[in-house]
């Protein structure tokens, strides 16, 4: 059975709709549906000079994606979006596509949700407390979300996500680290087929605290958690200084890295594979992947947006769905 993938259009003033209609030209090893406004997608295809057939479809209509045809699972219309110009009027549309997509996956209509980029600022301006896709989806679906980005040869998960740097230290707790590492290990096994994951763990402070001279979080929080989880059979190395951890002598023998905060690990990953990297939310009852970039308002409607990251996100979603399906068959 082919994987059923549901794709959101993201912020309608950005490049999300461009990426959806460009993706429609590709050969894809899945059944792909886009959840969004058919008129928005038709208009963006016209702007890009793409001749595609937009077909209104139901989730039960399962068939291999056909290049030049885009199946659309319609939701409420966008409010006449203008390329490159944000509007709070479109926020309800953006949030509804995400919420309806999550619900459809929870109901088993689709195997995975792939999300195009949204603009956090305009959502906040509309009066919605929104810190990111990860947190919003988890509020709907439940679970314990862990953000992980992948690029060819590297996986980086985060102990904390969208926090001001001043708040990171007090959010590195024993309970949080234990939950994040347990979730990371479980999903590396279940969704990536890695029987015994080997995880490198960054320290929080420079030089991993320098024996307590540059901070004591490693001694008082990180090391005790790692030792406790090692006693439970997890293969964890660290805490290691983040400035030397991302070297081949470490990465060549690891399945993932846990960084303590957003800008500790993601600059390395994006330098390695920007445009091919994928954002994956672990710890949810559904599979969710996304692109590694933002809305790129200046490129919307220009035809210059690169769909490489979205294609990689689709491929990751297909791979996870297939592996989980095989695991269920083998376990039954």
Q: Is residue 119 annotated as involved in ligand binding?
A: no
Q: What is the phi/psi pair of residue 189, to 5°?
A: -75, -55
Q: Is residue 271 annotated as involved in ligand binding?
A: no
Q: Is residue 288 annotated as involved in ligand binding?
A: yes
- Nearest CA-CA partner of 279 in 151, 112, 138, 98: 151
Rounded Cα gap, residues 96 and 77, in angstroms = 10
Q: Is residue 253 annotated as involved in ligand binding?
A: no
Q: Is residue 65 annotated as involved in ligand binding?
A: no
Q: Which residues contact 159 (CB under 8 A, 6 or more apart)?
A: 172, 176, 177, 180, 258, 259, 260, 261
The encoded tokens of residue 260 equal 């303590």
- Under 8 Å between Cβ of 158 and 148: yes
Rounded Cα gap, residues 29 and 314, in angstroms = 9
Rounded Cα gap, residues 179 and 109, in angstroms = 29
- Alpha helices (H) along the chain: 16-23, 38-47, 91-106, 120-125, 133-141, 165-171, 174-190, 217, 223-231, 242-245, 248-251, 262-273, 308-331
Q: Is residue 262 annotated as involved in ligand binding?
A: yes
- Under 8 Å between Cβ of 50 and 301: no
- Nearest CA-CA partner of 273 in 157, 154, 114, 117: 154
Binding site as annotated, residues for substrate: 133-134, 270, 279, 288
Q: Which residues carry a binding-site annotation for a divalent metal cation?
A: 162, 207, 262
Binding-site positions read 133-134, 162, 207, 262, 270, 279, 288
């Amino acid at each position: 059975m082919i994987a059923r993938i549901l794709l959101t259009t993201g912020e309608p003033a950005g490049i999300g709709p461009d990426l959806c209609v460009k993706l429609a030209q590709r050969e894809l090893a899945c059944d792909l549906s886009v959840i969004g406004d058919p008129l928005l997608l038709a208009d963006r295809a016209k702007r890009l000079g793409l001749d595609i057939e937009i077909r209104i479809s139901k989730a039960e209509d399962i068939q291999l994606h056909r290049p030049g045809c885009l199946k659309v699972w319609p939701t409420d219309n966008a409010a006449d979006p203008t390329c490159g110009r944000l509007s709070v009027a479109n926020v309800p549309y953006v949030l509804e596509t995400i919420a309806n997509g999550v619900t459809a996956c929870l109901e088993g209509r689709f195997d995975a949700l792939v999300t195009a980029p949204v603009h956090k600022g305009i959502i906040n301006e509309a009066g919605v407390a929104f810190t990111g896709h990860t947190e919003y989806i988890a509020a709907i679906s439940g679970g314990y979300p862990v953000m992980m980005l992948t690029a060819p040869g590297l996986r980086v998960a985060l102990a904390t996500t969208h926090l001001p740097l001043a708040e990171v230290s007090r959010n590195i707790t024993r309970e949080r680290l234990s939950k994040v590492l347990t979730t990371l290990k479980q999903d590396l096994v279940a969704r990536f087929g890695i029987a015994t994951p080997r995880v490198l763990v960054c320290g929080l402070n420079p030089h991993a605290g320098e024996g307590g001279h540059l901070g004591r979080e490693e001694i008082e929080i990180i090391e005790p958690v790692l030792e406790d989880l090692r006693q439970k059979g997890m293969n964890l190395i660290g805490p290691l200084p983040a400035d030397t951890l991302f070297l081949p002598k470490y990465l060549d023998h690891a399945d993932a890295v846990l960084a303590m905060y957003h800008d500790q690990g993601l600059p390395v990953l994006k330098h390695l594979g920007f445009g091919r990297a994928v954002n994956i939310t672990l710890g949810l009852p559904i599979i969710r992947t996304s692109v590694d970039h933002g809305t790129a308002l200046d490129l919307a409607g220009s035809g210059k947006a690169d769909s490489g990251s979205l294609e990689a996100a689709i491929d990751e979603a297909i791979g996870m769905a297939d592996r989980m399906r095989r695991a269920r068959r083998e376990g039954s």
